[in-house]
């Protein structure tokens, strides 16, 4: 297994997972989640899914660094959740046609797909 790649992958997981948690905490504290008033059930489920995804990315990063035997399973689950979230979240920015956000999500999807393919090759 390519140790520098695994360390890079683990670092990316820790950064992305931590950033997602920080982003939602910032949005909450700054009162920037209007759906809490307009669609509380939908946003609650969305926040639960995003939180689980972020926690699984962080767990995956830690397990990869520790070379744990269950790192592979957690990594695949975390990536599945990340790709779903990227596809789902980009839909919020299609109606107002927010090109920068759509491009950001597209780049995350492409890079994530590349990393998971590289990871699969490194673990087989």
The pLDDT assigned to 86 comes to 94
- Is the CB of residue 77 less than 8 Å from the CB of residue 37? no
Domain that includes residue 70, residue range: 3-123
The pLDDT assigned to 49 comes to 95
The pLDDT assigned to 92 comes to 87
d(CA 15, CA 56): 12
Counting the structural domains of the chain, the total is: 1
Pick from 64, 62, 50: which is nearest to 92 by CA? 50
The pLDDT assigned to 55 comes to 98
10-residue mean pLDDT profile of the chain (124 residues): values are 92 96 96 96 96 98 96 96 94 90 94 94 86
The pTM of the whole model exceeds 0.75: yes
Name every residue whose Cβ is closer than 8 Å to that of residue 71 and which is 6 or more positions away in sequence.
60, 63, 64
């Amino acid at each position: 297994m390519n140790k520098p790649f695994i360390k890079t992958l683990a670092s990316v997981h820790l950064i992305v997972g931590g950033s997602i948690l920080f982003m939602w905490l910032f949005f909450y504290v700054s009162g920037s989640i209007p759906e809490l008033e307009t669609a509380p059930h939908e946003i609650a489920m969305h926040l639960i899914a995003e939180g689980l995804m972020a926690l699984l990315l962080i767990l995956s990063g830690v397990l990869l660094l520790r070379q744990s035997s269950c790192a592979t399973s957690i990594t695949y689950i975390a990536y599945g959740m990340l790709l779903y979230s990227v596809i789902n979240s980009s839909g919020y920015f299609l109606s107002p046609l927010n090109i920068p956000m759509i491009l950001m999500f597209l780049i995350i999807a492409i890079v994530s797909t590349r990393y998971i393919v590289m990871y699969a090759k490194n673990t087989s």
